[in-house]
Amino acid sequence: MQGRSRWVPVAWSDLPGFADDALHEAWNAWVRSCERPPVAFAPLCPQVRRLMLGSAQEQRDWMQQRLQPYRVEPFEGPPEGLLTGYYEPVLDASRRPTASHTVPLYRPPATLASRRPWYSRQEMDVLPEALAALRGREIGYLADPVDALLLQIQGSGRVRMTEPDGTQRLVRLAFAGSNEHPYRSVGGWLLQQGALRDASWPGIRAWVAQNPNRVQEMLWSNPRTVFFREEPLPAPDAAFGPRGAQGVALTPGRSIAVDKESIPYGTPVWLASSGPQAQLRRLVLAQDTGSAIVGAVRADFFTGWGPEAGELAGRLKQPLRLWALWPR
C-alpha cells in the first residue's frame, strides 16, 4: 500500500506478455537503479548485477523466485490509467545571442529560493526586476521559442552549442530547478480556445506556423518554466538519457516517470499499454517523475532522444496498467 495507490498481490501469470519480453534490455536500467537502490532492493543488487550476463530464462526464473507482483490500483475510479511519453530533444544553440538565436535558456537565478513561487513565464519576459535577476544567467540561446518551451517541459535536452569562436560541442542541459508555478498544457489551452483538434506536438507546431502573432499568448498560458545546468556529454553518457529523479541515468524504452507517492523510485514495474502509437508489454524501472505525473496508474515513458523519439513521445497518450514487483 502506497500513499496514492492500492497494491493487490497477483500471480505471475496475470502479467500480460511476461514470457515474451526481452528482459536483457531492461537489465541495463535495473543495474542503473542499483547505483542508488531503494532500501528494499539493495540486498538484491549483487544478484541483479550477476544476472546481467544471464539468459532471459534465468532472469525470469530469478524474478519469479525473489519478487512478488502487485497490481497497482487507484483507491477510487477506473483501474486503467494513462501512459504518455517524454524524450530528450536535440537542438542547436548559440552561446551568444545572434540574429537568428534570440531565445535564452537560463541557469537558476540567485533569488530562486527566496521567492516562491518565482516569477511566472510572462513576468520573466516583461518585469524589469525579473529580467534583472536573470541577467548573466544565460547558458545559451535557441532560435525557436517553442523549442525552448519543449525543452523545459521535457526537463532536459542535448544541445549542439556553437561557441563564440565558431567551434561546436555537444552538451546536455539538465533540470536544475523551476519557478514552482503549476504546469499548464499549451495543447490544453489551444483546445479550450477551439484553435485545434489535434493537441499533439505536431499539431501544436502546425498551429504555430499558421499563427505566429499568437505564439507569445500561447507560451504565456503555461506559467511554469524550468532552469538548467550544463553538463558535458562524453560518449559513455551519450548512450543513456539524463539523470531522472532517482539520480540515475535513464534508459530509452525501459525507464518511466511515476508519481513517487504511488510507486517508489527504483521499483521494477511491469507495464502494459495498447494504443495506436505502441503495443507495450514489458519490464520497466520507475526512475523519474514530472509535475504532470500524478496518480496511482500514471506513467511517462522515456522514448530516448532525437526526432523519432520526439514523434513517439509527442503522440503517446493511451490506456495503461501497471504491476509493481516487490521483494518477497
Cis omega (within 30 of 0) for bond into 117:
yes
CA distance 136 to 167: 22
Instruction: Give the pLDDT band (50/70/90) at residue 202.
Output: confident
Residue 4 pLDDT level (bands cut at 50, 70, 90) = confident
The conformational region for residue 206 under phi > 0 = left, psi -120 to 50 = alpha, else beta, is: alpha
Q: What is the pLDDT of residues 174-189, one digit of tens each?
A: 999 999 999 999 999 9
Nearest in space to 203 (alpha carbons), one of 193, 191, 213:
191
Phi/psi at 219 (5° precision):
-60, -40
- Report how far residue 195's alpha carbon sits from residue 187's, in angstroms, rounded to the nearest whole number: 10
CA distances from 223 to 153, 190, 289, 292, 306 (A): 12, 15, 19, 14, 26
Q: Place domain 6-85+241-327 in its CATH homologous superfamily.
A: RlpA-like domain (2.40.40.10)
Mode of pairing for the β-strands spanning 67-73 and 279-288: unpaired
Instruction: Look up the pTM and report it.
Output: 0.85
Mean pLDDT of 61-65: 98
Residue 310 has pLDDT above 60, yes or no: yes
- Using one digit for the tens of pLDDT, what is the confidence trace for 80-122? 999 999 999 999 999 999 999 999 999 999 999 999 999 999 9
CATH of 87-236, one of 2.40.160.100, 3.40.1210.10, 2.60.120.10, 2.40.240.50: 2.40.240.50
In this structure, what C-alpha cell is assigned to residue 204? Answer: 501544436
On whether the CB atoms of residues 31 and 52 are closer than 8 A, the answer is: yes
Q: Where are the domains of the chain?
A: 6-85+241-327, 87-236
Return the percentage of the chain with pLDDT > 90, whole number.
89
Mean of per-residue pLDDT scores for the chain: 95
| pLDDT tens, residue by residue, 122-138 | 999 999 999 999 999 99
The whole-number average pLDDT for the span 152-162 is 94
Q: What pLDDT, on the 0 to 100 scale, is given for residue 314?
A: 87
Cell of 275: 494504443
pLDDT at 1 over 70: no
- Is the pLDDT at 235 greater than 90? The verdict is no
**pLDDT interval class at 159 (50, 70, 90):** very high
